[in-house]
Amino acid sequence: MGPRWKGKGSEAKALAIPISNSISNLQSSLIKSNSQAILSGCSVLLAANPEQTELLNQTCFGRPVITVDKDKQWFQFTFEEAFYLCYSLNCIKIVDSNDNVKTTNELWEYMVSKRASFCHSFKAYAHLRVKNWVVRSGCQYGVDFVAYRHHPSLVHSEYGVLVFYEGNGMNDRLRVWSDFQCTLRLCGSVAKTLLVLYVGRNGESVTGSSVSCLDGLSVDEHTITRWSPERCREDQAVVN
């Protein structure tokens, strides 16, 4: 299943402004302004200037928050988005409510304490982002993430993404064939391919206690599609 562009000229617009270029520009802008985000519960808030607002919207990091402050546009990031900007792109600092800058390991420990699966979900998120996929929450489709080839205003998402890892694997999700069928039918009804990312260990003992555990994890990709009996009928020509 290929990309489904939204309207005439969408593909040309996407080719003219690659996501990788927009992310590079965002990274430079945030570094230049020494941007600091605020850790608040299970999310992270950042005040952005007009240039950064446009770039954050282009790259689909965070969601705009409506406030009474008309001079600044605030963005709310998920843990995965915030840690990717802080750790992978190294373009923002994150502070606590007392304006103390959190170290990478302090931030990691905090996020893991709030969500035990963060280590694996971040590894999967970063795996897709590094490949220049736009990654958004997939809760409305019953998956962890959805992946877009470019900005959602230009193209429909191509993949519904489930993250498996040792410790949950098949024990909690897609336990029986009917679970597979339900998920596949749901993805198929919204024209998405089901992509399973299995986050495993590289033959090492890995714990999520520090950010260094990411080096000991690998990601295997598997796409799952429904088999159609009509594809192998006798009355169809066989191509040698």
DSSP class of residue 155 equals: B
* Residue tagged active-site, from 84, 125, 141, 148: 148
Contacts of 127 (CB under 8 A, 6+ apart): 197, 219
Q: Nearest-CA neighbor of 219 among 101, 122, 107?
A: 122
Q: How far is CA 124 from CA 64, 172, 177, 220, in A?
A: 24, 18, 24, 9
Strand partners, 221: 197
155, two tokens: 């193209």
Contacts of 159 (CB under 8 A, 6+ apart): 133, 146, 147, 192, 193, 194, 195, 223
215, two tokens: 């080096």
> Is 87 assigned a catalytic role?
no
> Is 156 assigned a catalytic role?
yes
Q: Tokens 């570094």 identify what position? A: 31
* Residue tagged active-site, from 13, 93, 156, 198: 156
Tell which phi-psi region holds residue 167, choosing left (phi > 0), alpha (psi between -120 and 50) or beta. left
> Is 93 assigned a catalytic role?
no
| Distance, CA of 158 to CA of 90 (rounded, Å) | 28
What is the radius of gyration, based on Cα positions, of the chain? 20
Catalytic residues: 148, 156, 192
